[in-house]
Chains A and B, each alone.
Chain A
Amino acid sequence: QAVVTQEPSLTVSPGGTVTLTCGSSTGVVTSGHYPFWFQQKPGQAPRTLIYDTSNKHSWTPARFSGSLLGGKAALTLSGAQPEDEAEYFCLLSYSGPRVFGGGTKLTVL
């Protein structure tokens, strides 16, 4: 099965902008991989932020956005808040099976 790669850790300043990426061992990530992004805080269940590349749920803060960038899926946080400190996971679909990335631990500092 494919391997999905994410940055292990990133740091952003409060109010700053950061982009997390999600790559695939099989090649370019496309909308056909239906990229998802999830946020997980310690001791909590994950929460879906983005589905199908760029669609937001009603609870997704407007400062989060999803896109395809440089052959990868991307999650951009614009105007980081202290409460955005968390681990972020992407998920790609491979025509049935899904694969998670290893997660990016985001520090807001």
Chain B
Amino acid sequence: EVQLVESGGGLVQPGGSLRLSCVASGFTLSNYWMNWVRQAPGKGLEWVANIKRDGNEKYYVDSVKGRFTISRDNGKNSLYLQMNSLRAEDTAVYYCASPGDWGQGTLVTVSS
């Protein structure tokens, strides 16, 4: 059974940092481009970032460029999102997603 399990969310003050992790089981992460997607409370889906199979290409939505960094460790079947300089508008459930599968998400709340 394919599973993507995110962790690392929580409450952080504006300007703070968090590192999200996503561990895959039941499939080989290295075969896929991987994505982070977020959903603010009561809002639609927003694509945040993606990373090529070998990690050599990365893309970001404009609003997180320079603040977020996506990375992967194919040996650990894991995907990461380092989030710095967090803002209130980054508050959302963050999902790890392959082309076919989604995790259950981890909630990030940015508030003082």
Q: A1-B61, A45-B95 are in contact. Are A102 and B44 (CB under 8 A)?
A: yes
Question: Does B62 have its Cβ within 8 Å of any Cβ on chain A?
Answer: yes
Interface residues of B in 58-102 (CB under 8 A from A): 59-62, 95, 97, 99-102
Contact B45 A57 (CB under 8 A): no
Number of residues in B with C-beta < 8 Å to the partner?
A: 21
Q: Tally of A-B residue pairs with Cβ under 8 A?
A: 50
Number of residues in A with C-beta < 8 Å to the partner?
A: 21
Contact A96 B45 (CB under 8 A): no
Interface residues in chain B, defined as those with a beta carbon under 8 Å from any beta carbon in chain A: 35, 37, 44-47, 50, 57, 59-62, 95, 97, 99-105
Interface contacts beyond A48-B102, A97-B60: sample of 6 additional A-B pairs, CB < 8 Å, sorted by A: A1-B62, A45-B102, A47-B102, A57-B100, A98-B50, A100-B45
